[in-house]
A and B are shown apart, each in its own frame.
Chain A
Amino acid sequence: MNEVLRYLSEEMSDDEAEAFEARLFDDDALALDARRVVEVRAGLRARAALGPLLPVIDARALASLRATRKLSEHHPQDGVIDVAFADEAFVIAHVPVDLADARTIDVAFCSTDGAPYFRAHDVPFAETGVIVACEAHVARAAGTLRVRITDETGRLRVEVVLTGH
């Protein structure tokens, strides 16, 4: 795979790239690597067409999502976000937390017993909090989610419960 990635990343000289191309079209192992790259790219594009690649977004992405998708937006009350599902595409949770001193933020989506379903690493955040964008069908299927926000040291900054009916 490394050769294909070096080629794609334009790290080969022109002569090296031309020699590589001659092998790329005839070598089965390189063709398989090429297919993996193409599938990853297609997968990213397909996913991006559905909505944000990350379940945590910045204000600009939220503005874009507001313009194109039906959203329900919520703020936690005593650490709980209670969603009455309708026909929204995304549930947006505005989670307030002081992150002025944080360098990076991770968000974990966990079951009620704390076992993580999914983690998003190094997500966008503002000094005043994060914006969680959860696909409505995922939130509905999960029932209740614990959303845990930690900083670069692993310290828990805040946890909110997202529950729906």
Chain B
Amino acid sequence: MDTSEVVTLVERARAGDRTAEEALCARFVPVAQVFFLRRAGSRDADDLAQEAVLTMLRALREGSLREDERLGGFLLGVCRNLIRRRARSDERTDRALSRLSTDEVFEREPLVDAHKLWTCVNALGGRAREVIVRTFVDDEDAPTIAAALSFTEANVRVVRHRALAALFRCVEGGDR
């Protein structure tokens, strides 16, 4: 999706085109989720990403977005503001009222086959698997994982990176 496509989608979404909004969500929700996975941790990443993208859509509908072609930069600013606000007061808006269903956005064209993912998770070494599950399923941060597994935090980060790389190699290639 190049800049001109983003601008077109912004114009259509501003005119009330729901499909264009969904396309923008499909493009921008995952990057916001990755941002918050890194900056806020797994437990809050989905809610914060949804809140950020909703703020972006609201700005778009209200005409307060100044440069359509800078939508990504605008969203990054929203994400950073949410992190700053969270750090100041742990303030939250009522996310339950305005949830976007990211599952719906991704249901149509999944990039990752669920069965293959399961097969690949089972092909990982036990330690690698444990770190991934604790990170992405149990929402544990590096210090918690380090304490539970008697690792250093640096070791958790290295194991996590290698485990994720191995998992993606398997999911995308067939490396069992």
- Within 8 Å of chain A (Cβ to Cβ): is B103? yes
Tell me, in angstroms, the Cα distance from A9 to B42 when the chains sit together.
Answer: 12
What is the minimal beta-carbon distance from A36 to any residue of chain B, in angstroms? Answer: 5
Q: B82 on the interface (CB 8 Å rule)? A: no
A5 adjacent to chain B (CB < 8 Å): yes
Q: Is the CB of B168 within 8 A of A1?
A: yes
Interface SS of chain A: helix
Interface pair B117/A47, CB less than 8 Å apart: yes
Query: Which of under 10, 10 to 19, 20 to 34, or 35 or more describes the interface residues of B?
Result: 35 or more
> Whole-angstrom distance between the alpha carbons of A9 and B110 in the complex?
24
Whether B164 pairs with A9 at a CB distance below 8 angstroms is: yes
Pairwise interchain contact B122-A118, C-beta atoms closer than 8 A: yes
Query: Would you give the 0/1 interface string for B99-120, flagging 1 where the beta carbon is closer than 8 Å to chain A?
Result: 0001100100011101001110
* Nearest chain B residue, comparing its CB with the CB of A121: B123
Say if the beta carbon of B132 comes within 8 Å of chain A: yes
Asked whether B149 is an interface residue with its Cβ less than 8 Å from the other chain, the reply is no
Whether a CB of chain B sits under 8 angstroms from the CB of A157 is no
Q: Are A36 and B126 in contact (CB-based, < 8 A)?
A: no
Residues of B within 8 A of A11 (CB): 157-158, 161
A120 with B76, Cβ < 8 A, contacts A9-B157, A11-B157, A44-B132 known = no
Chain A contributes a number of interface residues (CB within 8 A of B) equal to: 46
Partner of A122, one of B28, B31, B102, B129: B129
Whether A8 is near chain B, meaning CB under 8 Å from some CB there, is: yes
Q: Bound complex: CA of A115 vs CA of B132, how far in Å?
A: 29
A62 to B72, CA, bound (A): 46
CA distance A4 to B160 in the complex (A): 12
B18 within 8 A of A: no
B48 interfacial contact with A, CB 8 Å = no
| A25/B121 in contact, CB under 8 A | no
User: Could you tell me which residues of chain B, from 114 to 145, have a CB within 8 Å of some CB in chain A?
Assistant: 114, 117-119, 121-127, 129, 132-133, 136-137, 142
Partner of B137, one of A17, A32, A44, A123: A44
Which residue in chain B gives the minimum CB-CB distance to A107?
B122
Instruction: Given A21-B76, A44-B121, A119-B123, answer yes or no on A38-B136 (Cβ-Cβ < 8 Å).
Output: no
A123 lies within 8 A of B126 (CB): yes
| A-side contacts of B164, CB under 8 Å | 5, 8-9, 37
In the complex, are the beta carbons of B73 and A22 less than 8 A apart? Answer: yes
Bound state CA distance, A102 and B160, in angstroms? 25
CB distance from A58 to the nearest CB of B (A): 11
**In the complex, A53 Cα to B27 Cα: how many Å?**
29
List A contacts of B129 (CB < 8 A): 53-54, 122
Asked whether any CB of chain A lies closer than 8 Å to the CB of B37, the reply is yes
Residue on B nearest A2 in the bound complex, by CB:
B165
Once A28-B1, A35-B30 are accepted as A-B contacts, the answer to whether A7 and B122 lie under 8 Å apart by CB is no
